[in-house]
Amino acid sequence: MTGTGGSEQGAGPALPPGQRASSTWRASHYGRVPVVDPETWSLTVCGATREPGLLVLDLAALAELPFVEVDAGLHCVDRHSVTGIRWGGVRLRDVVELAPPEDGALHALLAARRGYTSSVLVEDLLHPDALLATHADGAPLSPEHGWPARVVLPHLYGFKGPKWIAEISYHHEAQPGYWESRGYHPRGRVDLEERWAHQE
């Protein structure tokens, strides 16, 4: 797929503060696009979980959860935005409900293939538009855009939502991810323009 949802900017939704419209949805990621075998792909939920043990979801288990669609933009911290993408997948709060964090574990580290990580609050995973996305604009994600699954957090900047997601781990203290350890904001809310750590 070309991922052109949101390329017609004229009468589309208003852009967040400080953002400019992008005419195309260009792939941006850390490292090379991994080769993922759908037969062996899985998502693990671990760390400070309420019940001991791991939750491991493969694509078949994921397909048993309710499929939803959300119209939302993708906002890069470098100030370009693609609006009007129709994301499809599973609400992250449904995944969290299968393996909730223990009391006081308010942070999550999202880990993807090839070592990329991002740090978010558990409450951001519970946002009604937060998805474990498998589709965009009615078609399965392309490998460049995160197939077979990526995290979509429309209220946060794009670096917070890893493509090729492999693990969600809960923690009592924030665990800086790839960009957070390089000076990017620990929360990354788009509406507040939380781009850099010094803004705290």
Instruction: Tell me the per-residue pLDDT of 18-39, one tens digit each, with 9 for 90 and over.
Output: 999 987 787 776 678 999 999 9
pLDDT at site 61 = 97
CA 87 to each of CA 13, 113, 133, 185: distance values in angstroms, whole numbers, following the listed order: 16, 21, 6, 25
Q: In this structure, what are the phi and psi dihedrals at residue 106, rounded to the nearest 5 degrees?
A: -100, -5
The superfamily (CATH) of domain 64-199 is Oxidoreductase, molybdopterin-binding domain (3.90.420.10)
pLDDT at 146 over 50: yes
Task: Tell me the mean pLDDT in the region 109-137.
Answer: 96
Average pLDDT of the chain is: 91
Q: At 51, is the secondary structure helix, strand, or coil?
A: coil
Kindly report the CA angle at 30 between 114 and 21, in degrees rounded to 5? 145
In order, the DSSP letters of 13-38 are PPPPTT-EE-SS-----SSSPPP--T
What is the chain's Cα-based Rg?
16
7 pLDDT tier (thresholds 50, 70, 90) = very low
The answer to whether the CB of 3 falls within 8 A of the CB of 137 is yes
**Alpha helices for the chain (secondary structure H):** 59-63, 92-98, 122-125
CA dist 172 and 76 (Å) reads 28
